[in-house]
Structure formats: structure tokens, C-alpha cells
Amino acid sequence: MPTASPISPSVLSPEVADALSAGRPVVALESTLLAHGLPRPENRAAADRVEEAVRVGGAVPATIAVLDGVPHVGLTSAEVDRVCADPELAKLGVRDLPVAMALGRSGATTVSSTALLAARAGIGVFATGGLGGVHRHAADTFDESADLVALARTSLVVVCAGVKSILDVPATLERLESLSVTVVGWRTNRFPGFYVADSGSPVDWSVGTAGEAARVFAARRGLAPGAVVVANPLPVEEQLDAELHDRVIAEALAAADAAGARGKDVTPFVLGHLHAASGGASLEVNVRLVLRNAELAGQIAAELAALPR
């Protein structure tokens, strides 16, 4: 039977509960990628591949979702089926969690809500695709992802491929700095742009091993709340063709503006345009980078579990 966490209203799967109680490494995974980020039925196969990548890295995967008002940290195969198959599943950020929990609703967790639920369950490492960030024209719209503030308040390692380059990357990095979120590049001093290895912006620090990343987080955890973002770029030979990427992004942003897309509607509009224009290549890149992040997160979690608390 699932085990209720003593420090949160979440339910932990037996495997995750056993691993946490024994001090073994665990990696949190978001469910929004499965419910809203990948098409059906490809999302179901990707779910298994991402969890397996965490295991290859040396940790137990804990996919997180809210089912019938109850946060679940670690899903059974049947629960993953449900998340991947339900087209009506809500998208839940931190602000939405209390509503879903109080009203018995179900939903997939975003970066912000996954990070919160993972940290409350005692999980120190989280793998995702890319972070949300500051949107272009945010000076006029105030459109900024809740991910950024959530990471300033939540202590865990987040392994990601940067932020999607449709966002304002320099402004996002400025906000992360203002919020005192620690950002390190994985074997690079360039901040990745999700589909491409280099967003055009630098990072001040880099780490070269999973052990270094774990020690950076251990030091951060001992100082103050807040996340350590490990920005893991795709190898250049695996990225989306850079010329295609830049051209399609420019066209898609112009089309979104002409269509009157605003706020949270811009990202799915642009990504849909990119997927169509790239002939599905952007989807392949998306899955590839998530798998790389999941394996690296498993390695960091294993190193973190070996450190003294």
C-alpha cells in the first residue's frame, strides 16, 4: 500500500518511501511533460524511458502528480497510464495545488509544484526539460513564470536544459540572480537554450562532475533556502539545427503576435509552430534532452546521498 508522508499530505509510492527511509537516492520528475508537453501516445513510452534513465543514473524515479485531490510522489504504472491518457487533466502550479487538493481534482504538476512537493517529501534532486522564465515583452505584460520564485524558496537541485529560447533568456538569468538562485553550467560556461546548446548567454560558474554538483547543493542547503540549477546542454551534434531553430522561432513569434496570442498562450502557440515546421524534429530533441537530464540527475542524487548530512 502507498505510504503517507509524515511531513506533507502527499502519498509516497512504496518504492519511493522505502528509498527515502533508507537514505537511498531519489529523483523527482514532473508530470506536466507527460500530460501537456508530449503528444499521445508517444508520451506514455517517454514516461518509461525517463524513469529508466533515472535508474541508469543510480536513483529511484518519483514522478509526481495530483490524483483525486491527493499529491502522489511516485506513480504506479496504472497511474502513469492515467496521467498520459487523460486529455482533461489540469495543469497545476503551486497556486493551483490547494484548489485541486480541497476540491478533489486531478492534475499534472509543473516545475514549481513538482519542486515544492518533492522538497516537502524529502527529495533533493529534480529533473525536468526546461525551466519557465521571463517572457519577451515582460516589461509590458509582467509575464514571468512562477518557476523562478518557487526555486528561490525551495531547496533542491534542478537539472534542466536551460529555458526555451522563445523566452527572454538574459532577463530570466537576471531574475534568477535577483532571487539568489544558484545557477551552474554542466561542463560549460554557456547557458543552454533548450533545443540548442547555447542560448547566447553566459553563466558565471560550472561544475564538471556529479559530485561537484552535489557538494554545491550541500553547501547551499547549509546556508539558505533556494535551488541549485544545473544547466545541462545537449551536445552540439544532438541539438536542433540552429539555423532552422532561429528562423522558425522568429516566424512563430511574429505569427503569435499577429494572431493576438498573449501571456500563457504564446508558448504553446510557438512550440506548436516549431514542431510543425521542424517535421517533428523538435519533439525528438525534447525527449532526448529530458533523458539526458534524468540520467544526470540520478548521478547527482547518488552523490548527494553519499554525503554526510
Question: What is the Cα gyration radius of the chain?
Answer: 18
Helices (H) and strands (E) in the chain, counts: 13, 14
Given 51, 164, 295, 303, which residue is catalytic? 164
Angle at 62 between CA 60 and CA 68, to 5 degrees: 155
Active site residue 164: yes
Cell output for 152: 528561490
Measure Cα distances from 36 to 70, 79, 283 in Å.
20, 16, 13
C-alpha closest to that of 288 among 245, 244, 239: 239
**Do 166 and 249 touch, CB atoms closer than 8 A?**
yes
Residues contacting residue 103 through CB under 8 Å, at least 6 positions apart: 69
C-alpha closest to that of 27 among 53, 1, 59, 58: 59
Residue pointed to by grid coordinates 505510504: 3
Given 30, 51, 144, 295, which residue is catalytic? 30
Cell output for 77: 504504472
Active site residue 30: yes
Give me the active site residues, please.
30, 164
